[in-house]
A and B are shown apart, each in its own frame.
Chain A
Amino acid sequence: MDPTTAMYVSQAIHGLAYGMVLFLVASGLTIIFGMMDILNLAHAAFFMLSAYFCYQFLTITGSFWAALLLAPLATAFFGIILERFFLRKIHAYGLMSQLVLTVGVALVILASVKIFWGTESLPVKIPPILSGLIKWGGLDYPVYRLFIIGLSLVVLVIMALLLYKTRLGKIVRAAVSDADMVNSLGINIPLVFTFVFGVGIWLAGIAGVAIAPILTVFPGLEAQMGMDAFVVVITGGFGSLAGAFIVSIIFGLLSSFGVQFVSSLAPVLMFAFMAVVLAIKPTGLFGERE
């Protein structure tokens, strides 16, 4: 196989892997917004926190798989505390209070992480089975990138089944369209809200663990992922999972090919894409509500 094709394939895989991770973060953000009208600006901070938990569990247990299981759960636990004891109390004060509160939480998480783990990059080792390359059809594929894509797809399928095939999913979808009505039908909406918030944070947590071995664990993770995920949600349309998915993949590919061809302008590409979409349709690609 000639080097140009090899380059294209490898960039495509990198882009897809990043796009899928981006989608894991953005999907939580967009579900939480669609259902509860909460723009969780601490979302990326939880993502970073999970990466740190991953590092910590890995040092304690020595097993990446245990970290992959435990770190997102631990992160979701903190997310649930945030929803149950803070966000719920200020729901009446509207969007702005929630935004400022979540900014405050993000700052506290960032500061705590720096206190407990310091500011330097911490390496996360992947198990031998996930490292290395697979040769197939004359091309090399990095196993870990493929693992990330596979993992995200599995999570995606589980979420889709949960959302479209179960009673709980039906309740969640109904709550997205009209939470008050579902509440008056006798369903415990506050509990469902807490659950959905927890799941959203859990998704960000999985993304955090998945990205940790690639980028290493450092406080800058938050800023890097936070902005990208927000741009995805804005461009895809608030509350739209399909929009988040499509835009995540586009952005993943855009950033990996962008770095290849116009390296200095790669971050601008994403925002330019967003600006074009918003100038034509201010609510985003699939957004209906404002």
Chain B
Amino acid sequence: MMNKTVQWIFWVVLFIFLALYPGMFGIYYTNLFVTFAVFAVYSVSFNLLLGYTALFSFGHAMFFGFGGYGTALALKHIPGLSLISSVLIGMLAAIVLALVLAPIVVRVTGSAFAMLHLAFGQLMYILALKLRPITGGEDGIGGFPIPPLNIPGIASINMKAPENFYYFAIVVLGISLWIMWYFTKTPFGQIQVGVRDNAVRIDYLGFKVPQTKAVIYVVAGAFAGVAGSIFSLFQNLIAADSAFSILVSFGAVINTLVGGLGSFIGPVCGAAIMQILEEVTTRYTDRVELVAGLILIFVIMFAPMGFMGGVRMLQMKWQARSAMKMKLEKAS
């Protein structure tokens, strides 16, 4: 296991790497990294439901979309809105949606929960396509003004430069990740895991199961909203296909599954792997669907525990071997 020093070194190296990243790799890979970070946060928020509370949502994209559309609409219609408040508005939109849906969805579990979300997600998609005066239909909302980041009395940073936006996005998404991680470590987070493992028992212990589920549902929705909001700022465009489409919902499922269930960092790895694969496949072939499908089948058939599952298995093997070695040394 990692001790304190190694952990500190890891964080410092990561920090320096992230700080130097735009300088080292150039604009193209900087933008790629922002996309990755957005989907990593989005997938982690999905895994908060699935991995920690066993609520399998098949329409997580609707929170992503609400966040994106919330920010885009706010910036389009409210003049002089600051950057931070636009992100908060996106988050608030997702929270409101989660609060509206929570009373219905916390009553069901398993496949009914999944299918309810599939259905609601699709309803949002169609509404986004059809409510043309508000959402702009297929074209979405684009070209809204992106305000500079104002730090009162210190600076006003232009967000149109990709490097500046990179730092802003990384900070916001990093904070989101940290809050979600912290959330799982609180006593409340432990109750969630209890709900996942044995809901009846948690009920008997005097905790309120539906309310617990509702809280985690709203938290997961809120951070998916943040991811969507950053995404729409990053693209300066939000459209039904990039926000509410079923493929966005599947994206979270796939990232989580490829990365590995039940570990906090799994979806982040999954998002990274899928991003790299997508980058590589689009470079060599235009049959992205075929490759994606084959990857999914391959992962499910041969590595059902995902990337982190594989890592953990190797770790266990390695530990078993070193334990064996120590035994042998003692014996001799």
Contact = CB atoms under 8 A, between A and B. Distances in A.
A73 to B, nearest CB: 24
Contacts of B126: 267-268, 271
Interface stretch (B213-221, B272-280, B292-300): B292-300
A40 B292 CA distance: 18
A290 B293 CA distance: 29
Interface in B245-261: 250, 253-254, 257, 261
Interface string A250-278: 00000000000000110110011011001
Nearest to A237: B112
Interface in A24-71: 33, 37, 39
Given A97-B304, A100-B296, A105-B297, A268 B127 contact: yes
A86 B119 contact: no
Contacts of B254: 100, 103
Interface string B84-122: 000000000000000000001001111110111011101
Among B111, B261, B290, the one with the most A-chain Cβ atoms within 10 Å of its Cβ is B111
Contacts of A37: 111
A112 B287 CA distance: 9
Contacts of A274: 119, 123
A100 to B, nearest CB: 5
B166 to A, nearest CB: 31
Contacts of B253: 96, 99-100
A108 B254 CA distance: 15
Contact of A234 (B110, B119, B287, B297): B119
Chain B: interface size category: 35 or more
Given A107-B292, A111-B293, A267-B130, A95 B300 contact: no
Given A100-B254, A227-B122, A234 B115 contact: yes
Contacts of A282: 104, 107-108, 112, 116
B64 interface: no
Interface string A85-127: 0100110010111011101111110111011000000000000
A119 B297 CA distance: 24
Contact of A278 (B119, B122, B301): B119
Contacts, number: 121
B234 interface: no
B52 interface: no
Contact of A101 (B118, B120, B296): B296
Nearest to A227: B122
Nearest to B250: A103
Nearest to A90: B300
Given A89-B301, A278-B104, A279-B104, A104 B290 contact: no
A230 B293 contact: no
A115 B287 CA distance: 9
Given A104-B294, A107-B290, A290 B119 contact: no
A111 B119 contact: no
A283 interface: yes
Nearest to A284: B112
Given A90-B300, A290-B110, A107 B293 contact: yes
Given A39-B115, A96-B257, A279-B104, A111 B300 contact: no
A265 B296 contact: no
B42 interface: no
Contacts of A227: 122
A209 interface: no
Among A100, A233, A264, A272, the one with the most B-chain Cβ atoms within 10 Å of its Cβ is A100
Contacts of B299: 100
B240 to A, nearest CB: 12
A231 interface: yes
A111 B290 contact: yes
B56 interface: yes
A238 interface: yes
A94 to B, nearest CB: 9
A101 to B, nearest CB: 4
B289 interface: yes
A99 B126 CA distance: 23
A272 B261 CA distance: 33
B296 A104 contact: yes
Contacts of A111: 287, 289-290, 293
Contacts of A86: 297, 301
A264 B104 CA distance: 28
A84 B295 CA distance: 20
B116 A104 contact: no
27 contacts: A37-B111, A39-B114, A86-B297, A89-B301, A90-B300, A93-B304, A95-B110, A95-B114, A96-B56, A96-B257, A97-B304, A99-B114, A103-B293, A104-B292, A104-B300, A105-B297, A107-B289, A115-B287, A115-B290, A233-B115, A268-B123, A268-B126, A275-B119, A278-B104, A278-B119, A282-B112, A290-B111
Interface of A: 33, 37, 39, 86, 89-90, 93, 95-97, 99-101, 103-108, 110-112, 114-115, 227, 230-231, 233-234, 238, 264-265, 267-268, 271-272, 274-275, 278-279, 282-283, 287, 290
Given A97-B304, A101-B300, 8 more contacts: A93-B300, A97-B300, A103-B254, A108-B297, A114-B289, A231-B119, A268-B130, A287-B112
